[in-house]
Structure 1
Amino acid sequence: MMDDLSRRGFLATVAAVPTGLALAAQVQAAPDDSQYWERVADLFDAPPPGIIQLENGHFGAMTRSVRMAYAAHIERVNRETTLYTRGAIGPDLRAVRVKVATLLGVDPTEIAFTRGGTESMQTLILGYNRLRAGDAVLYADLDYDSMQTAMESLTQRRGVRVVKIALPEPASHDAIIAAYAEALQANPHVRMVLLTHLSHRTGLIPPVAEIIALAREHEADVLLDCGHALGQTDFSLRAMGVDFAGLNLHKWIGSPLGVGVVYIRRDRIGDIDVSPLEVHSDTIDARVHTGSINYAALLTVSDAIDVHDRIGVANKAGRLRFLRDRWTRALRGTPGIEILTPDDPAMYAGITSFRLTGVTSMAANAALRKSLFDRWNIFTIERDGPSRGACIRVAPSFINTPHHIDRLIAAVDALRIEKRA
C-alpha cells in the first residue's frame, strides 16, 4: 500500500485538479442566460473549428476537469496496480457507489455498476426469471436496437411469445397510453414490458409512471431503459414506481466511456437471475459479472457527478429544452418538414428528430445528414426504426449556442425547399 508521503502526494495531485467551473456554486440559471452558458461551454474542449456538433447522443464529452481527474486516477491505478486494486480501492469504490445511489435517490444495495446501459438492460432482459412458456413480452418500435434483439431472443430462451407495437406518430400523452393499453388488452399473457424512458431514435419521453401502473394492472413488470434520460432530464425512479432500470453514466452525466448502472428495487432482486459466472447470492452484484473493470473510469464517476451537481439537473434540462425548442418551434408546421416529438414538455428533453416528408429510407436520410455536414458543417445522425420511416436526430449539448441552432434551421429549410423544387 502507499506510504503516508505518497498518499498525501496523490491526494494533493487530485486536489490540485480544478473543478473546471467558473461557477462558484449551483445557481438557478435561465436557459437563455448567454454569459452563464458560455462559462459552462468553456468547461469542455470545443469541437474542430467551424463544426457545429449536434450529435451528442452517442456519448457525452467529459469536461476538462473530469478528464484531468480521470488522468490522475489512471496514473494511480497504473502506478500502484494491484497494491491499490486489491486493497485500498474498496472504500473508494464504495464511496462512488453511495454517490451514484444518492444521485438516483435509491439505496446503494439496489445498484450495481456495468460497462454501460446496454449491459445493464441485457442483465435485466435476459435475467428476468418470472417468465413461463406461453407467456408474452412486449416492446415498441422506438426501443433501442440491442434491447429489441434481446427481447426477440426470449422466444428461444424462455419459450415466450414476443409482441412488437408501433408507437403513434405524431405522439401524444393519450395516444401513447392508448397504444400500450390496447396491446396489453389484446395480449393478456404479456408478463414483461420493455419501456424506453427517452428514445434514442426520436427523443420521445412516454408517460413512464402511468405505463408502469397500467402494466401492473395487467400483471406485467416493466423494465425501464433510462440510457438517455439520466442527466438530460429530471426524474425519480421511486416516484415513477420503477422496479428495474438500466442507466448510463457516460452520456449526459459526462463520466468516462464504459460506465453504467443497473437498478433493481431491493425486494425484486431475486426476480433477476444470478450471473452464471457468479456464486449464488441475494445481492444485486451477483447479477452482473464484468470481469476486470476500468477502475479509473469508475472512480472518475464521482468527479463527473460533482460537475453535474454544480451545474444542476434542472439547469441542464432547461438549457437542452431551450435549444431544442428554438429549432422545433421554428420549423414545426412548415410544409414538407415533420417534427417527430411533440411540444408537450413532459414528453421531450434535448433530443428530437425530424423527417422531410416522403424521405423515409435510411439511405436518403444518410444523404441528408451528409448534406448538412458537407454544406453547413452541421453534424447530426440518421436513425432508423420508427414505423413511419427513418429520420435525422438532433442532439444538442452544452457546447451549443442559439447561433448553432439558427444555422440548423436555415439548413433544414434550404433542404426542404430543394426537395420541393
Structure 2
Amino acid sequence: MTNLTRRGVVVAAGLALGAGSGMAAAQPAAGGIALAADETYWAGIAAQYDLTSEVVQLENGNWGVMARPVLAAYERHQAMVNRRNSYYSRREYGDDLTRIRARVAANLGVAPEEIAFTRGATEALQALIGGYNRLKPGDQVLIADLDYDSMQSAMAWLKDRRGVELVRIGLPEPATRQGLIDAYAQALDAHPKVRLMLLTQVSHRNGLHLPVAEITALARARGVDVILDSAHAWGQVATKLPDLGADFVGLNGHKWIGAPIGVGVLYIAKARIPDVDPFMGADDHSPGDVRLRVHTGTSNMAAYLAMADALDFHEAIGTQAKAARLTYLRRRWTEPLRDVPGVQLLTPQDDRLGSALAAFRLAGRTTPAENVELARTLLERFGIFTVARHGLAGGSCVRATVSLFTRPAEVDRLAQALRELGAA
C-alpha cells in the first residue's frame, strides 16, 4: 500500500477499493491553485495509472483510463459475476445496482428515481431525443456545430420521426462567454418555432465549456426544452444537475469519472418523465419509471459494480482539485502559444470556458486532410498522440487532451512541437 502525504492530507491511493476506498479527500488550498501545481501530490496520483510509454498520450478524450485500484476492483467484480453466474444476477444484482444507483444520484445531486443506467452517453441521449414526445409537425429543433455527430444525426432524424424542421447554427470562434449566450439567444429569437434544443456542456471537438445554466435559462424563458450532453463534463467540471437547469441529460461514467467502458447515465427530472416515451413499448417497469425510457438488455454487471469504486477514487481527489489540475496542465501548453505566429488556438483564455480538452490548428489550415496530417506529424515526428476533429464551422482542428496522469514535461513537449511547426 502506497500512502501519499501532502500537508497532512493522506491519500491511500493504493488501496483495493471495495467497501470504500479509505482515501481521505484532498482539500484544495486557495481554490485548488496551490494543489494544482503540487507535483509531488500529482505524481502519486499519476502512479495509480498503468500507461504505455511508447507515446506521449494526449488523446484522453476517447475514454478515461481506469486507475489501478478501480481496475483491480473491476477484475474482482468480473470474476465474481462469472463465478456465481445467474445465481448472483437473479438474486442479488438488483439490490447491488439499486445501491450504486443511489450513490450516482447523490453525486449528481438528484434523486435515484430520476436516473437510469445506460451503456454510455450516446445511448442515453439517443433515448432522450427519440423518446421526447412534446414535438408536433411544424416545430423546430436546434443544434450547433459543437454538438456530437451522432447526437446531431439523432436530432436530424426527428424530421422523419416528428415532422419537425432542423435548425443548425455555428458558434462564434473565438468564443467568449457572453458571445456564446448571445449566439443561442439570437438563434432562438430568429426561430421562434424552436421547441427543443441540443446543448453540449463540454465539446468533444474543441473542449469548449459552455455556460450551460445561462443558456438553459434563456431557453426555458422562451418555452424551449434542452437536452444536455454532459458526456465530457461529469468528473472534470462541476456537474450538479439541478444547477444546470436542464431536465434531460446524458452522461458518461467511463470518461472523467474513470469507470470501466460501458457505463452511462440517463437523467430526467421527475416531473418531466412522462415527456419521454417508454422505449419501444417496454413494460418491464411501471409507466412513470425513468428506467422504462431506455433498455440496454443484459449489461456488463461488473462495469456497473465498479462504478462505486470509480466514485470512491474520484471523490477522494475531488472535482474541484481535478478541475484545477486539468486547467493548470491545459494552460501550461496553451498560454505560451497565444502569440506564436502560425498557431491558432481554439481554446479561450477565459478559464470558465476551458476544460481538459483543447484544440488548435496551424493558421489557414482548416481542411480535414490538413489536420489529419498535423496529428500524424505530431505522432511520427514528435511522439505525441493527438486526434483530428472535424465539423466546426471554422474548420477542422487537432484536439489535445490532458489527464490526471499527464506530466508537465509532456505538455511542454507539445508546446515546443507546435512552435516548430508554426514557424515552418
TM-score bucket (shorter structure):
over 0.9
Q: Secondary structure at the match of 1:242?
A: coil
* Other-structure match for 2:312: 306
User: What is the aligned counterpart of 2:270 among 248, 252, 266?
Assistant: 266
Q: Determine if the alignment matches structure 1 residue 94 to structure 2 residue 93.
A: no
In the alignment, the residues of structure 2 paired with residue 351 and residue 22 of structure 1 have an alpha-carbon distance, to the nearest angstrom, of 30
* Other-structure match for 1:48: 53
In the alignment, the residues of structure 2 paired with residue 358 and residue 406 of structure 1 have an alpha-carbon distance, to the nearest angstrom, of 24
* Other-structure match for 2:330: 324
Amino acid in the other structure paired with 1:179 = A
**How does 1:59-208 map onto structure 2 within 5 Å?**
59-208=63-212
Give the drift of 1:302. 0.3
Of 63-72 and 26-35, deviating more is 26-35
Give the drift of 1:177. 1.2
In the alignment, the residues of structure 2 paired with residue 18 and residue 127 of structure 1 have an alpha-carbon distance, to the nearest angstrom, of 37
Residue by residue over 1:250-269, the C-alpha shift from the partner in whole angstroms, topping out at 9 and shown as x without a partner, is 00000000010000000000
Q: Secondary structure at the match of 1:81?
A: helix
Residue by residue over 1:173-209, the C-alpha shift from the partner in whole angstroms, topping out at 9 and shown as x without a partner, is 1111111111111110000010000000011111111
In the alignment, the residues of structure 2 paired with residue 18 and residue 276 of structure 1 have an alpha-carbon distance, to the nearest angstrom, of 38
Of 27-36 and 389-398, deviating more is 27-36
In the alignment, the residues of structure 2 paired with residue 376 and residue 184 of structure 1 have an alpha-carbon distance, to the nearest angstrom, of 45
Q: Determine if the alignment matches structure 1 residue 290 to structure 2 residue 281.
A: no
Gaps of 5+ in 1: 1-14
**Conservation of the 8 A alpha-carbon contact between 1:255 and 1:297:** yes
In the alignment, the residues of structure 1 paired with residue 240 and residue 105 of structure 2 have an alpha-carbon distance, to the nearest angstrom, of 12
Residue by residue over 1:259-311, the C-alpha shift from the partner in whole angstroms, topping out at 9 and shown as x without a partner, is 10000000000101101151161110000101100001000000000000111
User: What is the aligned counterpart of 2:360 among 354, 363, 371?
Assistant: 354
Gaps of 5+ in 2: 1-13
In the alignment, the residues of structure 2 paired with residue 224 and residue 58 of structure 1 have an alpha-carbon distance, to the nearest angstrom, of 19
In the alignment, the residues of structure 2 paired with residue 47 and residue 242 of structure 1 have an alpha-carbon distance, to the nearest angstrom, of 39
Give the drift of 1:333. 2.3
In the alignment, the residues of structure 2 paired with residue 269 and residue 22 of structure 1 have an alpha-carbon distance, to the nearest angstrom, of 37
In the alignment, the residues of structure 2 paired with residue 323 and residue 25 of structure 1 have an alpha-carbon distance, to the nearest angstrom, of 21
Give the drift of 1:47. 2.0
In the alignment, the residues of structure 1 paired with residue 391 and residue 228 of structure 2 have an alpha-carbon distance, to the nearest angstrom, of 19
Give the drift of 1:17. 2.7
**Conservation of the 8 A alpha-carbon contact between 1:99 and 1:302:** yes
* Other-structure match for 1:406: 412
Aligned-residue identity in percent: 48
**Conservation of the 8 A alpha-carbon contact between 1:198 and 1:204:** yes
In the alignment, the residues of structure 1 paired with residue 239 and residue 302 of structure 2 have an alpha-carbon distance, to the nearest angstrom, of 28
Give the drift of 1:401. 1.0
Amino acid in the other structure paired with 1:124 = L
In the alignment, the residues of structure 1 paired with residue 22 and residue 414 of structure 2 have an alpha-carbon distance, to the nearest angstrom, of 29
* Other-structure match for 2:3: none
Residue by residue over 1:207-241, the C-alpha shift from the partner in whole angstroms, topping out at 9 and shown as x without a partner, is 11111111112111011000000011123211122
* TM-aligned CA distance change 1:285 to 1:18, over 3 Å: closer
Of 174-183 and 271-280, deviating more is 271-280
In the alignment, the residues of structure 2 paired with residue 307 and residue 277 of structure 1 have an alpha-carbon distance, to the nearest angstrom, of 38
In the alignment, the residues of structure 2 paired with residue 333 and residue 103 of structure 1 have an alpha-carbon distance, to the nearest angstrom, of 40
* TM-aligned CA distance change 1:39 to 1:341, over 3 Å: same
Q: Determine if the alignment matches structure 1 residue 232 to structure 2 residue 236.
A: yes
* Other-structure match for 1:37: 42
Give the drift of 1:23. 6.0
Q: What TM-score does the superposition give when structure 1 sets the normalisation length?
A: 0.93
RMSD: 1.6
